[in-house]
Chain A
Amino acid sequence: MGAITVLVLFPLLAAFAVLLVKEDDVRNKIVRVSAGITAALTLVVVCLFFQKGIAYSYRWETGIDLVMAVVEVVLAAYIITIGIRYKNYAISVLSFLQTAAILCFELTAKSQIEVENAIVFDKLTAIMVVIVGVVGSLICIYAVGYMKTYHIHHTEYEDRKGFFFAVLFLFLSAMFGIVLSNQLTWMYFCWELTTFCSFLLIGYTKTKEARNNSFRALFINLLGGAAFAAGIIIIGMSRHTLELSVFTAQKPDAYLMIPVFLLSLAALTKSAQLPFSSWLLGAMVAPTPTSALLHSATMVKAGVYLIIRLAPLLGASPVGKTITLVGGVTFLACSFMAISQSDAKKILAYSTLANLGLIVICASVGTEESIWAAILLIIFHAVSKSLLFISVGSAEHQIGNRNVENMDLLLGISRKLALCMMIGIAGMFLAPFGMLISKWVAMKAFIDSNNILIVIILAYGSAATLFYWTKWMGKLVSKVNMRQQSENEFHLDEEIPITILACLVVVSCFTFPIVSKYALIPYLNEVFLRRASMPIGAGDIKLMLYMLSMLIILPISFIPVYKNDKRRRVPIYMAGENTGDNETFYGACGTKRQVELHNWYMDSYFGTKRLSFFSDILSFVILIWGVILLIGGIAS
């Protein structure tokens, strides 16, 4: 109990410490040490409570509520002010409405509601805490190295590193709060806090673009926040409970579906599903650690986490079907749109959207198998995607930009970085790696639950996924002769987290049967009140592990073969005379001509303009349809 409190409060403390210290070196040390301690605390908490789980309340609950209310009012005041200052009145209105509503509710109706367990720590919480704690603290360490180079590159931006690190830690604290609290108002408070952190971090550079994007993020997330607040108030008024676990254990009926729909809507905005996805794409203007931490590994996972919690109520209900379809549209459209991107961060953003869509589908289908797949997807996606984000950040500093077309230089500049990036990419879509295992089970789950449409979406989306990852990987393996020197130092602060995450990607694939046995299956047993079993047979898992071992052993075994087998090396065939450097050939009149190799982007097929327009409309229509079904359900 004490350990959990410390886990939530420690990052907060670190945030203040970082904010107060002005000395660069000292601050960096504090960040590193605090991140280390956060990771250690995470492991301690998980070790303590993993087996038994824990659920409890604080005695001084009213005090905590009061503090939260005060902070909420201050935040709302701040948001309303900047909304007015930058003439973004929608934000002010939204913020005012939801804060006022929640405050009214807390002051009046809430006092009659008894909260038994404000904090619940079960197997799912444990998994989320590990992801947030371990991945989050690794990214904080990475940020130290990254921001150093960032401000050398971008002298035009004001150096606000202290503020940056402080917000990162504040965010970690809020994130722990979301996954640990069972009391909805606390969860809502942390939810708003992450929105606010994300707003601050996106606007870090203070450019016009950054400001606009941060306001968009704030607006959309406030929209979700408003839905969340409305959901809480309805739950509190009609069901007289504020506990998520109590709420999800109720028998679903037509009226219950309204708050479920509202909470799902909040989750969809947080997880940036269509039509609310534009904020995540805009968030890519922020420094890379932000994207890695908030927009791939943790914050967007809060949304899908909530949907997984709601899963028992969703299932085959109209709301469940609606959410599933929205996830399906997002998955398919974003997988397609990723093909047309050449900016590495944009590709990652679209792929994040797509994968979140997949997790949303899995969670909202709500069968044992599909939730199994959803949780595994969260784990694998967090690890692989944060690895990819931070290695793209480092690659940007090494080669000067983050265009995938230029990444063929990376192998020459930093072999290790290129290798880590390849591991990350492989983790995202290749066979024995994590994401594919989950996709496989997801596919099985969808057929078993008769969701033919979703299966077909998955088949097409997977093919598109394969295309854009492989062409990126192709750029990474192509060997360009040019010997370009790295522009910047590859800090140890960047190298260590990248290496650890790369190892984690591989380790998580080897250990997923263990995770499944000791965490997922017990969790599913609890939720579904019957014996769940592993969706993949033991024989298949063995074969998967063989494949994975092969992938590790083959490159190593190739080295001795290669050493003994020196071959004659000849120039590349160019159907004209190769000048000998494999880069140029003699054209007409003996002039040297450069060979340029580009990837395919197929803009006429997968261009974002048309696709995003239609998919936004489609998902919007689906949501409206969901509302109609909801009303129809009540009317009947």
Chain B
Amino acid sequence: MMSVLRIIGIIILAPVVGGLLTGIDRVITARMQGRQGPPVLQPFYDVLKLMQKESIEVNSMHRFFVYVSMVFAVFTTVIMLSGGDILLAIFALTLGSVFFVLGGYASNSPYNTIGSERELLQIMAYEPMVLLTCIGLYYAEKSFFIKDIVMADKPSILYLPGVFIGLVFVLTFKLRKSPFDLSMSHHGHQEIVKGITTEYSGKDLAVIEVTHWYEVIISLSLVYVFFATSAPGSHVVAAIVCLGVYLFEIIVDNCAARLKWQHALNSAWIVTGVMGTVNLVILSFFMK
């Protein structure tokens, strides 16, 4: 009974927090640009409005995929926040992302398709680092379960500083921030219109937005597990670091212009190769 309540709590609270973070993001971005910016609750207004709007479609297939994508994002969030297997969570998340990409293809629209291709490229760019993060955590803590990892005596960051830097680097992809917001961006006018979401409207678009909130939570919980330990105080530290990382990503978003896909792929894979590999290799010497 408790676990059911807990799962329901996660499903409801995660997007609320995610939405709030997105709202704060928009305010901070506006302030950095010397504007006043929208209210903090603006993302919620947007989504509620979208829910009430008419949903139009270009064919019968493409909206199905975004709903499946959201289901798996929720599934991932539940696994992660209830302390489940981190690798399984990442697989589920990837499954959701793949469905999102397929939705873009299914509409057969030029902007959606090019958005899909870029999204796919982004997944390819960040996937190795995310996998290495899970592996690194397992290597350091001898468990894939988040509930075990956060109960360790020492925070994982001590073993995995390189992996952490790499993760923060690729989170830029996942949070859809410049310079790696190739497939769609939070910012208005761009050369591929609204990228992968171009053909969605009304409820479907709201679903995509909510999915993104879940993904924000998933991304930040990946950061969280690096700092949390059995000591209660560490959880406060972990939460603060999460906010710090988010703030950092916002600042990067506002300072950087979008890169070409070649640079995105190169930089992500090189950072993964250097940070992840070196860290794991060094760790393997200590583990022997």
Contacts and interface: CB of A to CB of B under 8 A. Distances in A.
B123 A463 contact: yes
A478 B106 contact: yes
B57 interface: yes
Contacts of B111: 573, 575
Given A460-B128, A462-B131, A540 B85 contact: yes
Contact of A467 (B58, B88, B123): B123
Contacts of B121: 467, 600
Contact of B102 (A477, A555, A605): A477
Nearest to B194: A573
A81 B22 CA distance: 75
A101 interface: no
Contacts of B288: 450
Nearest to A600: B117
Contacts of A456: 128, 132, 273, 276-277, 280
Contact of A597 (B54, B108, B132): B108
Contacts of B227: none
A431 B72 CA distance: 11
B128 A452 contact: no
B157 interface: no
A151 interface: no
Nearest to B96: A431
B106 A440 contact: no
Contacts of B92: 431, 547
B91 interface: yes
How many A residues touch the partner, as a band? Answer: 35 or more
Contact of A473 (B102, B124, B273): B102
Contact of B138 (A444, A462, A574): A444
Interface residues of B, number: 66
Interface string B107-144: 11111010011001101110111011001001100001
Question: Main SS of chain A's interface residues?
Answer: helix
Contact of A574 (B54, B110, B273): B110
A252 interface: no
A568 interface: yes
Contacts, number: 172
The winner among A452, A551, A558 for most chain B CB atoms within 10 A is A452
A233 interface: no
A27 B265 CA distance: 54
Nearest to B89: A543
A550 B287 CA distance: 39
Contact of B84 (A467, A477, A543, A562): A543
B124 A466 contact: yes
B105 A474 contact: yes
Question: Main SS of chain B's interface residues?
Answer: helix
A20 interface: no
A474 B107 CA distance: 10
B98 A430 contact: yes
A483 interface: no
Nearest to B280: A452
B67 interface: yes
Interface string A530-564: 00000001011001100100110011001000100
Given A456-B276, A573-B199, A474 B116 contact: yes
A525 B72 CA distance: 37
A430 B117 CA distance: 18
B120 A471 contact: yes
Contact of A440 (B65, B87, B132): B87
Given A447-B139, A459-B128, A550-B71, A430 B95 contact: yes
B107 to A, nearest CB: 7
A463 B128 contact: yes
A540 B111 CA distance: 38
Contacts of B87: 440, 443
Given A474-B102, A480-B108, A543-B88, A567 B55 contact: yes
Contacts of B16: none
Nearest to B111: A573
B48 interface: no
B224 interface: no
B109 A573 contact: yes
22 contacts: A440-B91, A444-B138, A452-B277, A452-B281, A455-B132, A456-B132, A456-B277, A459-B135, A460-B128, A466-B98, A470-B123, A474-B105, A475-B105, A478-B107, A479-B107, A544-B88, A547-B72, A547-B75, A551-B68, A562-B60, A567-B56, A573-B198
Shortest Cβ-Cβ A-B pairs, 7 listed? A474-B105, A463-B127, A431-B91, A572-B109, A459-B128, A431-B95, A459-B131
Given A430-B98, A436-B91, A452-B281, 5 more contacts: A450-B287, A477-B102, A572-B108, A582-B108, A597-B108
